[in-house]
Amino acid sequence: MAPFHRSCRSSRPSRSPAVPGLLATLVASSAAGQAPFAVAVVDYLPGTGVVEGYDDPTSALGEPSRFTADPLFPSAVTPFASAYLPTQVCSIGGGGHLAVEFETPVTDDPRNPFGIDLIVFGNSFFIDAAYPAGVVGGFFGDGGTIEVSPDGSTWTPIPNVAADGLFPTLAFEDVGPYPTRPGSVPTDFTRPVDPLLGPMLVGMTHEEVVEAYGGGGGGAGVDLATVGLSEIRFLRVSLPADSGFTIEIDAASDVAPEIVSADLDGSGTVDGGDLAALLADWGGVASDLDGSGTVDGGDLAALLAAWGGRG
């Protein structure tokens, strides 16, 4: 996608000559507190067609962009107004790739919403069928292959998930489709969107999209179980040499698991009713309090530790 994108534009800007080079050394993020997000660049090859200035791979570290501080077109990031500044996104052209590392492993956690473990944020956007009302008339994204690795050397491609694809980023829950100021209710960039939502998006208003996102910030969701991996620490996004276009990557995040309350029966207190519910689910997953994937002795210990409280 053209990095200068505004969703109301219908044409792409001209491309600069290819930016050569390979960043083979580790580029660490200087920001602190980014554990859920990619924190370091381990490899970057821009590829062909990348616009000069959009070849800074550190733009893809940290959390996704929430506001585009363009003096001419300031805007909070929404599914109709994606991030596009060189400080926000890193471009990858034909034959190029970007590999980043997480501070701690991204795990296939059974408590993760919708089974999604990893989210990749590009700058795709919805086409507005009733501009500026914000009605989804279609979708624009440039794809890109996602690969994951536990060690940074053995890579496994993720099928049927485009890096710069569904779902376009939503930064705030309390703004319209084209806001000129940030909102006050930020979305959760570690919460994925239900992948089954895709076919139902066309015709939705911006307000309906916000509700459907369920507090999440969008992005392309990856379920590690689909490729048989229990955990990864590295992510790579690439384009084939003959692609003829570029994609833009904003960020990547580790999904936060949903914490199961020890108050399993909803009585307001952890007591014998919750113990009975846990024992009835022994060997299952619904009452998995410690995230091990199975209700067992660890969950019993967690329930007893919360005994008499509210869970």
Which domains, and CATH codes, for the chain? 27-254 (no CATH), 259-311 (1.10.1330.10)
- Lowest mean per-residue pLDDT among 13-22, 70-79, 113-122, 158-167: 13-22
Contact status, residue 304 vs residue 293, Cβ threshold 8 Å: no
What pLDDT does 8 receive?
Answer: 32
Q: What are phi and psi of 213, to 5 degrees?
A: -65, -20
Quick check: 86 pLDDT over 90?
yes
268 by Cβ neighbours in 10 Å (0-12 / 13-18 / 19+) ranks as exposed
Contact call for residues 192 and 161 (beta carbons, < 8 A): no
226-229 long-range contacts, Cβ below 8 Å, gap at least 24?
A: 226/158, 226/159, 227/148, 227/156, 227/157, 227/158, 227/159, 229/108, 229/148, 229/150, 229/156
Average pLDDT score over the chain: 89
Residue 199 CB burial class (10 angstroms; 0-12, 13-18, ≥19): exposed
| 115-136: average pLDDT | 98
Q: What number of residues does the chain have?
A: 311
- 287 versus 205: which is more confidently predicted? 205
This prediction's pTM: 0.82
pLDDT of 170 > 50? The answer is yes
Angle between helix 297-305 and 272-280 (nearest 10): 170
Q: Which residue has the higher pLDDT, 143 or 110?
A: 143
For tokens 């109709």, what's the residue? 80
Decide if pLDDT at 173 tops 50.
Answer: yes
**Can you read off the two tokens belonging to residue 89?**
């996104």
At residue 12 the predicted structure's pLDDT band, cuts being 50, 70 and 90, is very low
- Residue 270 pLDDT exceeds 80: yes
Q: What is the pLDDT of residues 198-254, one digit of tens each?
A: 999 999 999 999 999 999 999 999 999 999 999 999 999 999 999 989 999 999 999
Neighbours of 105 (CB within 10 A): 12
Place of tokens 């009302």: 133
